[in-house]
Amino acid sequence: MSIFRRLLVRNLITFLILIISLMLTYSAILSQYIISQQDKHTTTLSRLVDSYNAVDAKVLAKDLKSAFAYQALNLSEYNGPSLYKYEDQNTDESLGYLVLNSFGMMPQPKKVVSQTHNLGLQFQLRFTDELALFDTFFYSSLLVLFVVLSLLIISLRQLIQRVVRRSIANISGVINEFTESDDSIAWDDLPDDFLPLAESLETLHINYETKIKEWRESAENFRTEATRDELTGLKNRISFVEYFEDKLNNLENLDFGVLAVTRASELNHINQNRGYQAGDAYVAELAQIITRVANTYDAAEIYRLNGSDFAVVLPNVTAKESENYATNLQGRLGELQKSLELEAVAYSGLVSYESGRPLGELLALSDTGISISQTKYPNAWHMQTDTSVLENVSAKYGNQNWREVIDDVVKNARAILYYQPIQPTNKNSKVYNEVLARFANADGQVLPTASFVAMAEKMDKIIFVDKMIVEQTMKQILERGLQTQYFGLNVTAKSAHDEQFAIWLERRLLRDPAVASKLVFEVTEFGMQQNMAASKRFLDMVHRTGARVTVERFGMGMTSFKFFRELKPDFIKMDGSYSRGIDEDKSNQYFLRVIVDLAHRLGVNVLCESVETQEEKHCLEQVFVDGTQGYFIGKPVEF
């Protein structure tokens, strides 16, 4: 109601101006009247005094005060002393007096001289009635003006409200017609007074159309980003679920095809040993190979489900026809395997689908297919057609295959041993070569190490695997006469904490003390923290045999200084994430200096793995680590 406020302010200003004008007018009139009365009284008083034969000042004053109302009266001899003096001490507080006195309009005292009686009179009349009448007239006028102004304001308010309601009704009618039709807004139907408003609304309409268009484009971009994998540019799991649920829930179309899931089995190994940049490059190259092979099929869809899994949907393709896809993909993966110098690149599980089949069931079957393919040969694939495995989750066909393969590896000692050197950073550093194991099936095909170890732990066979590696390593050292060199063996935390394994290991080491003194057993920091008491028993046992212990993957847990005091390992091997790019990472450099200083004070040597560049090696030497390991130092070599 800004219009009403403006009108109200204007009327108030007008009201004030009228009041001031009225007050000044009344004041001027009253002032003139009072002055004229003073002048008239001067003549009257002169005549009255001259009419006396003899004048007694007190008697004259008494007569004058009884006849006239004086504010002040002073009788004196002519140019002589005062004979009688009177002044009313009551202050006149009327509005008229205050106004006239403020503006200097009150008449000044008048003087009358009688030469006949040698007498001077000075007086000032009281105008109480006139000033009271002024007050009454002024307040009455003020009340009348206030009433008139109030009625005017009420009338204006009602008038403005009616105008606003009619205006809103007109504008709403035009806008409603616009919203109900595809035509533009009919501003011509509004009065000319609304043209500025029409132009503003038209501009607002155009701006909102532009904003809505931008919001739609932004929302579409967000959706694209949310449904795309940033590294490979492929659609992600969200898109995969949406697409597949639409296919499987649409029973009328009778859709069918093959779902192929490919797992990048070496991602974790590459991330740990070559760095995350190498891992990203590996994933990106794998995505390109899968895309090239899948694009030879009409309407094929490719997705990246998670860090290591890719899914390819081949619509309207039978299980038999999909074998060509799997074979072609396997050949391309073999080429990538050679260029990256890996033991494998990826494994695939294939399963047929049709409308009405649950997506979870398909993913479970494809996962089983991957497990089975990993027991065959590098980059293998398997078409999972047996759905009975879903009825007994604990006895999946893939798990059964793994159990048989692990038993065969342990029984026939099918471990292929490699060693990777750790280079000392100074002449006084005592380091060793780390022994790495690869595992082969009955056909001589190398199995994925990470999957083999994970399945062995899952099936409680990892202790047998660790025993096999210890036996083979000690046998190789004895047969090759390598008793002068030091070798490090990885032992899982589960084996280290197992009492029977510890008893077996102590007896085995004591049988060949010369070899035992050259062995270093590596256990992860996280694994040791799971059972500190068992970890201490294992470490004490190893030390009794003359062997040593390394806590590897150090720095990934919440290790305290108490950890060093209680366990007292011989070495700690920092997690590879601390080595990668350390030449440019001041925080990691500072952290390593603190760890190295603390470890050296306690007699513990510090090693760093995943060293890939000359700059990283030089920086690590500057913080005084005792040894470095990685592809820049030396690649694994077979025994």
Q: Indicate whether this model's pTM tops 0.85.
A: no
| Residue 105 clears pLDDT 90, i.e. is over it | no
Greater pLDDT, 206 or 546: 546
Give the mean pLDDT of 512-523.
95
What is the reported pLDDT for 393? Answer: 40
Which stretch of 164-168, 389-393, 516-520, 555-559 has the lowest confidence by average pLDDT?
389-393
DSSP state of 392: -
Q: Which pLDDT belongs to residue 535? A: 93
> Where does residue 444 fall: left (phi above 0), alpha (psi -120 to 50 degrees), or beta otherwise?
left
498 phi-psi bin (left φ>0, alpha ψ -120 to 50, beta other): beta
Distance CA 194, CA 200 (A): 10
Amino acid at 81: P
Strand 571-574 relative to strand 548-554: parallel, antiparallel, unpaired?
A: parallel
| C-alpha separations of 4 from 151, 156, 160 in Å | 14, 8, 7
The whole-angstrom separation of Cα 626 and Cα 517 is 20
Residues 17-68 have pLDDT tens digits of 877 787 778 778 878 888 888 888 888 888 887 777 777 777 877 888 888 8
Which residue type occupies 126? R
Structure token pair of residue 386: 């047996």
First to last CA, the chain: 93
| Cα-to-chain-centroid distance, residue 238 | 22
Contact 598, 559 (CB under 8 A): no
pLDDT at 423: 95
Residue type, 156: L
Phi, psi of 428 (to 5 degrees): -90, -10
* CB neighbours of residue 231 within 10 Å: 14
- The predicted pLDDT at position 402 comes to 82
If 0-12 CB within 10 Å is exposed, 13-18 middle and 19+ buried, where does residue 463 land? Answer: buried
| Exposed e or buried b per residue across 403-437, where buried means at least 16 C-beta atoms within 10 angstroms of its C-beta | bebbeebbeeebbebebbbbbbbeeebebbbbbbb
Residue 537 token pair: 């028993």
User: Which position has the higher pLDDT, 418 or 35?
Assistant: 418
281 close to 264: Cβ distance less than 8 angstroms = no
Q: How far apart are CA 27 and CA 626, in angstroms?
A: 108
Q: What is the pLDDT of residues 440-467, one digit of tens each?
A: 988 888 888 877 887 888 888 999 999 9
**What percent of the chain has pLDDT above 70?**
90
**What is the arithmetic mean of pLDDT over 263-269?**
88
Backbone angles phi, psi at 111, to 5 degrees: -125, 135
In the prediction, which pLDDT does 32 show?
84
The Cα 377–Cα 445 span in angstroms is: 5
* pLDDT, average across residues 7-13: 73
What's the rounded Cα separation, in Å, for the pair 320 and 325? 10
User: What's the Cα-to-Cα distance from 236 to each of 56, 233, 250, 260, 288, rounded to whole Å?
Assistant: 126, 9, 22, 15, 15
What DSSP string runs through 249-317?
H-TTTT-EEEEEEEE-TTHHHHHHHH-HHHHHHHHHHHHHHHHHHHTTSTT-EEEE-SSSEEEEEEET-
Q: What distance in Å separates the CA atoms of residue 349 and residue 360, rounded to the nearest whole number?
A: 14
Q: What is the pLDDT of residues 188-223, one digit of tens each?
A: 655 666 667 666 767 777 777 787 777 777 666 666
Query: What number is the average pLDDT over the span 70-93?
Result: 79
How does pLDDT run across 143-171, given as a tens digit for each residue? 877 887 788 778 877 877 787 787 777 77
pLDDT of residue 394: 35
Half-sphere exposure of 533 (CA within 13 A, CB side): 1
Residue 139's alpha-carbon distances to 145, 149, 398, in angstroms, are 10, 15, 107
Alpha carbon 382 to its chain's center = 44
The number of CA neighbours under 13 Å toward the Cβ of 627 is 24
198: number of Cβ within 10 Å = 19
CB distance 95 to 88 below 8 Å: no
Beta bridge partners of 138: none
- State yes or no: pLDDT of 504 exceeds 60: yes
Question: Beta strands 605-608 and 627-628: pairing type?
Answer: parallel
pLDDT in tens, 372-397: 888 777 898 988 886 665 554 433 44
What is the C-alpha separation between 50 and 42, in angstroms, rounded? 12
Q: Report the half-sphere exposure of 448 (CA within 13 A, side-chain side).
A: 29
Q: Is the pLDDT score of 557 beyond 70? A: no
